[in-house]
Structure 1
Amino acid sequence: MTPITEVDGRRVALSNLEKVLYPATGFTKGELLHYYATAAGVLLPHLRDRPVSFLRYPNGPDGQVFFTKNVPPGTPEWVTTAEVRRSEGAARMVLVQDLASLMWAANLVTEFHTHQWLVRTPDEADRIVFDLDPGAPATVVECCEVALWLRERLAADGIEAYAKTAGSKGLHLLAGVRGASSELVSEYAKGLAVAAERALPRLVVHRMTRSLRPGKVFVDWSQNAGRKTTAAPYTARARRKPMVSTPVTWEEVARCRQVEDLEFQAADVPGRVEQYGDLLAPLLDPEQAAPLP
């Protein structure tokens, strides 16, 4: 029997609550659902009105991990969906608009990935994102150095950047932008990645080529493309431990000396939200979005 829970007046089936999803810590599916219920206040605003791709790992990170972009079979009729243009034609995707939809989606065991545009304005990007991905032996420590350089460079163009952990190895930089297409934002982001490589040649690479990446930070600007998605703030990740993509302060970025300084698991997030609120809240205010230079 799958227990049925009522969430905001909707009947949501929550299954296999005892199943261990994260073998390294024994963290169960029930604990994951509890995490999403408690983080909903800060997570939902970053999902709302954005078509969501699910990276699913129903048997934990060691099991099958697969992307679901289209509306999954069995989606309740009360979950909001929207038609989204794709190169291969229109497709329907899920919008996670409320707590009931979040809990339904979390029960599928998923990382939440979103586009850098809202469903009502698919031709205008409202965010710019840089995914700083370290090639071993580089770690998040080197990512922090690159993030501080990018923050200053963006500020010189009147764009205020915010940081979060990727919840895996690296760091994500986000900023609110307006009045530009995904193509223009991608072009601008690529320009900054190239400039970072020129300024920090020992540290940065702007091309994805694997052979260039050991010991360096790949500044991935390509996630600004209209069809690409990035792990949402506060999503849990399919790692050995229940790591969460967690917003961080610039002081924390500047102080980072070891990987553990910026490693946050589901249990760490409620206390941080209590202490800081949502550090990425400014991204939700259209008034704070800056035009590209």
Structure 2
Amino acid sequence: MPDPTATVTEVAGRRLRLTHLDRVLYPRTGFAKAALLRYYTLVAPAILPHLAGRPASFLRLPEGVEGQRFWAKRVPPGAPGWVTTLDVTHRQETMRQTVVDDLPTLLWAANLGCLEFHVPQWRGDPATHDRLIIDLDPGDGAGVVECCVVALAARELLTADGLRCWPKTTGSKGLHLTVPLLDTPAERVSAYARELARRLRQALPDLVVDQMAKQLRPGRVFVDWSQNNSAKTTVAAYSLRARPEPTVSTPLEWPEVAGCRRAEQLVFTADAVAERVRAAGDLHAGVTDPAQAVALPG
């Protein structure tokens, strides 16, 4: 059946056919596909630097958050010839993945029902990382308030090591801290992250867990150092999340982290984030600024 809402438009010189614009993707709020495309258009100047050069993994939900969801790592069939791609070796297999490096590619992917964009901690070569991720994942009975306590402790340790980090929400219950690095062997970044997790557990033994066993996590925050594995990806700054409401992985200022007393203080939806970007630009701009990249200690 023809789609009466379909429209053909030109974006930065690329021709795009946008479909099912009235499809509601988040039934709880009525957030439709047209709103999805509008959001990614508004935040494109902020999100694209965090995606550029990295092979993207798409979480696609063509029917919305209450429908089927699936991961798409390979370049989807029918992708335009102008989409940038990168061949990536996963274990024994090499696959071609999309690199979202411009607005037309961002909107093309969103039109496919890609709500979430995830990228690794490297560009081009999985053996060399250019950033460190500290993933703070609260267990049952804990939440973002507890993550903020751990984030502030992590910031102190990182600062003592000569490293600067930028905080963001995951768009779910946790926090991410990102440290821009000079190109560093992946194994060294992973080892530093694991040691940092151990140091946080020693500093906050009643609050921090650095082991993956789920029975250890209730009431505590798991410092997931494994996110620095070359095979892992992390949700990008400014990506929407496939949750009941259109929440966003949102860059924060440190006073927001220090002042968090209730979880809802750090929940941001698409409209709020678009306004934050309009008012303040990219609060995570330092993460993609080569001048901010530093070497790991030691």
> Under a length normalisation based on structure 1, what TM-score does the superposition of the two structures give?
0.97
- Please give the alpha-carbon distance, in whole angstroms, between the structure 2 residues aligned to 1:219 and 1:275: 32
Q: Note the alpha carbon deviations across 1:42-98, whole angstroms, 9 max, x for none.
A: 011111111101111222222222111111111111111111122122211101111
Corresponding residue for residue 114 of structure 1: 119
Matched, 1:152 2:144: no
Residue aligned with 1:36, SS? helix
Matched, 1:244 2:225: no
Corresponding residue for residue 168 of structure 2: 164
- Please give the alpha-carbon distance, in whole angstroms, between the structure 2 residues aligned to 1:8 and 1:278: 21
Residue aligned with 1:291, SS? coil
Return 5+ residue gaps in structure 1 as ranges.
Answer: none
- Please give the alpha-carbon distance, in whole angstroms, between the structure 1 residues aligned to 2:118 and 2:183: 23
- Please give the alpha-carbon distance, in whole angstroms, between the structure 2 residues aligned to 1:63 and 1:206: 34
Residue aligned with 2:90, SS? coil
| Distance apart, 1:5 and its partner CA | 1.6
Q: Which residue identity does 2:267 align to in structure 1?
A: E
Q: Which residue identity does 1:214 align to in structure 2?
A: P
Corresponding residue for residue 183 of structure 1: 187
Q: Note the alpha carbon deviations across 1:4-62, whole angstroms, 9 max, x for none.
A: 22111111121111111112211111101100011101011111111101111222222
Corresponding residue for residue 48 of structure 2: 44
Residue aligned with 2:56, SS? strand
Q: How does 1:246-285 map to 2 (within 5 A)?
A: 246-285=250-289
- Please give the alpha-carbon distance, in whole angstroms, between the structure 2 residues aligned to 1:144 and 1:201: 15
Runs of 4+ in 1 over 3 A off after TM superposition: none
> Under a length normalisation based on structure 2, what TM-score does the superposition of the two structures give?
0.95
Return 5+ residue gaps in structure 2 as ranges.
Answer: none
- Please give the alpha-carbon distance, in whole angstroms, between the structure 2 residues aligned to 1:204 and 1:61: 32
Deviates more, 1:130-139 or 1:33-42: 130-139
Instruction: Give identity over the alignment, percent.
Output: 53
Residue aligned with 1:260, SS? helix
Residue aligned with 2:121, SS? coil
| Distance apart, 1:109 and its partner CA | 2.0
The alignment of Structure 1 onto Structure 2 pairs a total of residues equal to: 292
The 8 Å contact of residues 135 and 217 in structure 1, kept in 2 or not, is answered as: yes
Q: How does 1:46-85 map to 2 (within 5 A)?
A: 46-85=50-89
- Please give the alpha-carbon distance, in whole angstroms, between the structure 2 residues aligned to 1:191 and 1:108: 40
| Distance apart, 1:274 and its partner CA | 2.8
* CA-based RMSD: 1.1
- Please give the alpha-carbon distance, in whole angstroms, between the structure 1 residues aligned to 2:212 and 2:65: 24
| Distance apart, 1:214 and its partner CA | 1.0
Q: How does 1:90-129 map to 2 (within 5 A)?
A: 90-110=94-114, 111-119=116-124, 121-129=125-133
Q: Which residue identity does 2:137 align to in structure 1?
A: D
| Distance apart, 1:275 and its partner CA | 2.9
- Please give the alpha-carbon distance, in whole angstroms, between the structure 2 residues aligned to 1:69 and 1:131: 22
The 8 Å contact of residues 114 and 232 in structure 1, kept in 2 or not, is answered as: yes
Corresponding residue for residue 231 of structure 2: 227
Corresponding residue for residue 35 of structure 1: 39
The 8 Å contact of residues 124 and 178 in structure 1, kept in 2 or not, is answered as: no
